Amino acid sequence: MGVEEIIPGIIVRHTNRRLGRIEVSDACGRLICGKISFSEFVDQVGEGFRELLDFMMEHDLHPGRPDEVVYCVDCYAEFCCRDTLKTQLGDLYRMGAAHVQAAKAS
């Protein structure tokens, strides 16, 4: 399969690519768009989203599909973990939206 045949929305879990330091909002926006991997995201923002990322990897979810992630959290997450996962997901999208707004303003 060539690069031109790659389907948009593929989940990127790991890569050896090294990014320079980017803003948290930029990292969130890039993760949602599938432009950086989960491991690159953790390198940029630290462990604050670890539970959410682990859940998404375990259930093969793409961060660019929030309704699907929320549905799976409601169906498959342990009751005691749901609030943490939903809070982290809300933070991810709130920060990612800030990146999108800033990009549009430029």
Task: Give dist(CA 29, CA 97) in Å, integer.
Answer: 7
Residue 70: exposed, middle, or buried by beta-carbon count in 10 A (0-12, 13-18, 19+)? middle
Q: Quick check: 71 pLDDT over 80? A: yes
Q: Quick check: 99 pLDDT over 90? A: no
The token pair that represents 54 in the structure block: 């682990």
**CA geometry: angle 74, 77, 79, nearest 5 deg:** 85
Least confident window among 5-19, 41-55, 76-90? 5-19
At 104, give phi and psi (nearest 5°).
-70, -35
Q: Quick check: 29 pLDDT over 60? A: yes
Q: Quick check: 31 pLDDT over 60? A: yes
Whole-number pLDDT of residue 35: 87
3-state percent breakdown (helix, strand, coil) of the chain, nearest 5? 65, 0, 35
The token pair that represents 26 in the structure block: 């930029």
Mean pLDDT of the chain: 81
Task: Give dist(CA 29, CA 63) in Å, integer.
Answer: 10
Task: Give dist(CA 25, CA 11) in Å, integer.
Answer: 19
Q: What is the mean pLDDT of residues 55-64?
A: 93
Q: What is the mean pLDDT of residues 28-53?
A: 89
Q: Quick check: 11 pLDDT over 60? A: no
